[in-house]
Structure 1
Amino acid sequence: MRDPAAVEEALRGIDAISHQAAMVGLGDGVADAADYVGCNDLGTAVLLAAAARGGVRALVLAGSMVVYGEGRYTCAEHGTVRPGPRAEADLRAGRFEPRCPACGAALAPGLVPEDAPADPRNVYAATKLAQEHLAAAWARATGGSALSLRYHNVYGPGMPRDTPYAGVASFFRSALARGEAPRVFEDGAQRRDFVHVRDIAAANVRALEALAGSAVPPGTLPRTTPAAAPRAPCSPWPAPSPRPAAGPRRASPASTGSATYSTSPPTPRACGASWAGTPKSPSPRASPSSPGNRCAPPRPRRPAADAPEITRPR
């Protein structure tokens, strides 16, 4: 990604890009900050510069829901608030829910709308948001179109084992394959959205067709907790039920900034997105519709024979 000559060669004859390449991981500390920024942001800048020189004018970016930060919470007294990092003392005492930053009261978790303010809380999240800004700047400078799909936890065939990118889905699959009870952190009541890799592929094709220029968070599984999640991506392996691990979520203090609830509404942007179910994903999935097609009825879509050519630079 950071080799201009290699990227330029990969883009030869290409008129649209689906940009999936990135260094992924938890990104909790800063020791690897230069690597994250180099791979994700410098790599994206090299790609965009080559695209501009090559006349490419359509880009779909693999974004991430981590740009939203902790999530959306409501205080009975102060309304919608943005909680800060959780206190180590609360985690050790088994109090895992964030508190209101104004009064310290318990908060009610809610759904994060796609236009919620960005609040990246680790290096990886910051680089993913920077990628979006770079893509937007490229689109303005070239007259092209860019769209970011903010992925939730991706799972499905070919999912690497024990990788932080796929998160609990990959860890749970590996544990179930060994006949072990998956281990979840804290009390297992965190909320996450999951998306099947086939739906990610379909969403990218639809996005290339639409290029509406907005951020869409595709998620396909019903909103769930880590304690309940293993059965969806890992159903082929019978194994003991997940066991919550009491105590702090991680040994590192950086874990106090990790998201507890990270879920999106079931329908991203009623106007500008349509829904379609798949056998692998019993609940709907997000897929951008054509610009101006307001509230399009749900319908499955397959890549058209004349769909834009897509490349994944290496």
Structure 2
Amino acid sequence: MLILVTGGAGFIGSHLVTALLAAGHEPRVLDALLPAAHRTAPSVPDGADWRHADVRDAEAVTDALRGVDAVCHQAAMVGLGKDFADAPDYVGCNDLGTAVLLAAMARTGVRRLVLASSMVVYGEGRYACARHGVVRPGPRRPADLDAGRFEPPCPRCGAPLTSGLVGEDAPADPRNVYAATKLAQEHLSAAWARATGGRVAALRYHNVYGPGMPRDTPYAGVASLFRSALARGEAPRVFEDGGQRRDFVHVRDVADANLAALYGTDALPEGALRAFNVGSGDPHTVGETATALARAHGGPAPVVTGEYRLGDVRHITASSQRLRDELGWKPRVTFADGMTEFATAPLRAG
């Protein structure tokens, strides 16, 4: 198949292009090389058709779609950014860019889309109260965070909660600008599918890490921040008390999930969007992750700072059983092996 990969020069996109080539497909890469994500020229694998263009450029996107069988839409501005002043950039890159792409797909007759979504659309994870059952806590209050009370309480009685796994049918509750734009991408894609008879697999990535991850920037993930600190000989700085639970999934497993979704879109009903969580199924705390990286790297032990960022959620782990059952995907890289590799793997400059 000829597959257009938007954002194909990025961290996840480049691994996906490599996986597509290995599987005998023809990837066509379209990437704007935005400075926030790219500080050096990309290294596009031999065999990929390279297009340097912005996904918001309708003419360039239309040209890139010629002859294409399906699209893997990875292009996005990621992370929490610096502050709310980043909002127009996030909306422009993520939502306007997706709208331009979908409009071009509607014109050119491309009807298969794999969308890179995110677990951030859920907001906080799944919680249960011993008295009130499953509940959805509201945003954590700065006064509680300042006092070191990081666990969200039951919104009805204030009692402690037990966290669990989120399923794809859980209500969305985006809690920062990036999360809102990722949910908007899903809504736009669902509208496109209904209007055109297209099919969409929306992959809700968890905390993706691995070789080639960008170094520490305001848009980098926490694993990259820890790894970058160790490369400088510094102790990783762990926010809150380190007890935040996340599901760290290796980038090669995420690339495999994209291939499984490409093959599985034909089985979806016309006009449908189907969401799939993409996680390892082996959640760990942020503190455990920093410790594993420090030990594998041979660097200083992490420092728990008690700092926090408004908009961060406490626990977000989800079941990826739907992806396993319906598309036959399963992760191959264990947490221990992945963190050992990542502790010394090269990072990209941007």
Report TM bin, short chain: 0.7 to 0.9
- The answer to whether the 8 Å contact 2:277/2:323 transfers is no
State the number of aligned residues. 276
- The answer to whether the 8 Å contact 2:215/2:225 transfers is yes
- The answer to whether the 8 Å contact 1:153/1:194 transfers is yes
Task: Please state how far the C-alpha of 1:26 moved relative to its aligned partner.
Answer: 0.5
- The answer to whether the 8 Å contact 1:84/1:101 transfers is yes
Q: Distance in 2 between matches of 1:272 and 1:35?
A: 35
Is 1:260 the counterpart of 2:314? The answer is yes
Q: Deviations over 1:273-312 (max 9, x none)?
A: 434342x3369xxxxxxxxxxxxxxxxxxxxxxxxxxxxx
- The answer to whether the 8 Å contact 1:28/1:123 transfers is no
Who is 2:191 aligned against? 137
Q: Matched residue of 2:155: which SS?
A: coil
Q: Matched residue of 1:210: which SS?
A: helix
Task: Please state how far the C-alpha of 1:236 moved relative to its aligned partner.
Answer: 5.0
Q: What is the percent sequence identity of the aligned residues?
A: 65
Q: Distance in 2 between matches of 1:189 and 1:275?
A: 29
Unmatched tracts of structure 2, length 5 or more: 1-54, 337-350
Query: Which AA in structure 1 matches 2:334?
Result: S
Who is 2:112 aligned against? 58
Q: Matched residue of 1:215: which SS?
A: strand
Q: Deviations over 1:114-162 (max 9, x none)?
A: 2111001111111101111111111111111111000011111110101
Q: Distance in 1 between matches of 2:207 and 2:219?
A: 8
Q: Matched residue of 1:80: which SS?
A: strand
Q: Distance in 2 between matches of 1:115 and 1:270?
A: 16
Q: Distance in 1 between matches of 2:289 and 2:274?
A: 29
Who is 1:210 aligned against? 264
Who is 2:225 aligned against? 171
Query: Which AA in structure 2 matches 1:56?
Result: V
Greater shift after overlay, 163-172 or 266-275?
266-275
Q: Which has the higher contact order (CA 8 A, sep 6+)?
A: 1
Is 1:230 the counterpart of 2:280? The answer is no
Is 1:40 the counterpart of 2:94? The answer is yes
- The answer to whether the 8 Å contact 2:112/2:200 transfers is yes
Normalised TM-score (structure 2): 0.74
Who is 1:287 aligned against? none
Q: Distance in 2 between matches of 1:126 and 1:28?
A: 16
In angstroms, what is the RMSD of aligned CA positions? Answer: 2.0
Q: Matched residue of 2:330: which SS?
A: strand
Who is 1:151 aligned against? 205
- The answer to whether the 8 Å contact 2:245/2:316 transfers is yes
Q: Distance in 1 between matches of 2:301 and 2:295?
A: 12
Unmatched tracts of structure 1, length 5 or more: 284-314
Is 1:93 the counterpart of 2:147? The answer is yes
Q: Distance in 1 between matches of 2:128 and 2:82?
A: 26
Who is 1:219 aligned against? 279
Q: Deviations over 1:18-60 (max 9, x none)?
A: 0000111205843222221111111101101111111101000
Equivalent of 2:127, from 31, 49, 73?
A: 73
Is 1:281 the counterpart of 2:334? The answer is yes
Query: Which AA in structure 2 matches 1:224?
Result: H
Who is 2:308 aligned against? 249
Greater shift after overlay, 268-277 or 3-12?
268-277
Judging by fraction of residues, say which structure has more helix.
2
Q: Deviations over 1:247-292 (max 9, x none)?
A: x413xxxx1x4210010125236641434342x3369xxxxxxxxx
Q: Matched residue of 1:12: which SS?
A: coil
Is 1:188 the counterpart of 2:242? The answer is yes
| Alpha-carbon distance change, 3 to 243 in structure 1, aligned in 2, over 3 angstroms | same
Task: Please state how far the C-alpha of 1:87 moved relative to its aligned partner.
Answer: 2.1
Equivalent of 2:251, from 175, 197, 202?
A: 197
| Alpha-carbon distance change, 234 to 164 in structure 1, aligned in 2, over 3 angstroms | farther
- The answer to whether the 8 Å contact 1:15/1:55 transfers is no
Task: Please state how far the C-alpha of 1:78 moved relative to its aligned partner.
Answer: 1.3
Q: After the TM superposition, which residues 98-109 of structure 1 pair with which residues of structure 2 at under 5 Å, given as runs?
A: 98-109=152-163
Q: Distance in 2 between matches of 1:59 and 1:237?
A: 39
